[in-house]
């Protein structure tokens, strides 16, 4: 299960969102390493892996929130573990994940409102500038063999 990210047609890689989780102490958990059935394992940082389970040992999410590569983060949604009953986190948490996506949609709408189209001369000038290296989430990196 790879990380899910959201992009908008308008802003592409400059605003790429995802569901982030924070632990009870406010820290961000590391990606969880899963041994694959093949020879290669896999790091996963998808929100649903942070259910406090074992094999492999993993942290339990306290809150979920939308995050964007631009540095923006949405409001936190407290994970209601008691309310989930027997449902696995990947099912019970989808409602909060959807809320996070809505928060990110709101962020994109804000960005769109603040974005003023560039005059064509300036746009041409900017296109001649080399693009900065884009920031990527470490979530779907494969481990070296």
Of 38, 41, 78, nearest to 56 by C-alpha is 41
**How far is Cα 13 from Cα 123, in angstroms, rounded to an integer?**
18
- Can you tell me which of 72, 81, 84, 137 binds Zn ion, judged by CB under 5 A? 72
Nearer to Zn ion, 59 or 74 (CB): 74
- Least distance in angstroms from the C-beta of 73 to Zn ion: 9
Out of 21, 22, 68, 79, which residue is the one contacting Zn ion (CB under 5 A)?
Answer: 68
Contact 16, 6 (CB under 8 A): yes
**CA distances (Å), origin 77, targets 23, 33, 73, 98, 120:** 12, 25, 12, 11, 42
Pattern 86-125, binding to Zn ion, x per CB under 5 A?
A: ----------------------------------------
Q: Does 34 sit near Zn ion (CB under 5 A)?
A: no
Contact residues for Zn ion, defined by CB under 5 A: 15, 68, 70, 72
């Amino acid at each position: 299960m790879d990380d899910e990210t959201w992009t908008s047609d308008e802003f592409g890689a400059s605003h790429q969102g995802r569901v982030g989780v924070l632990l009870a102490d406010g820290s961000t958990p590391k990606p969880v390493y899963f041994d694959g059935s093949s020879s290669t394992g896999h790091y996963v940082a998808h929100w649903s892996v942070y259910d406090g389970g074992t094999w492999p040992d993993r942290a339990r999410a306290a809150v979920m929130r939308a995050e964007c590569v631009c540095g923006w983060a949405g409001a936190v949604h407290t994970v209601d573990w008691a309310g989930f009953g027997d449902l696995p986190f990947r099912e019970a948490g989808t409602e909060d994940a959807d809320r996070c996506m809505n928060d990110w949609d709101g962020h994109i709408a804000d960005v769109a409102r603040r974005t003023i189209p560039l005059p064509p001369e300036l746009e041409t000038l900017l296109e001649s500038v080399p693009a900065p290296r884009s920031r990527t989430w470490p979530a779907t990196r494969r481990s070296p063999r």
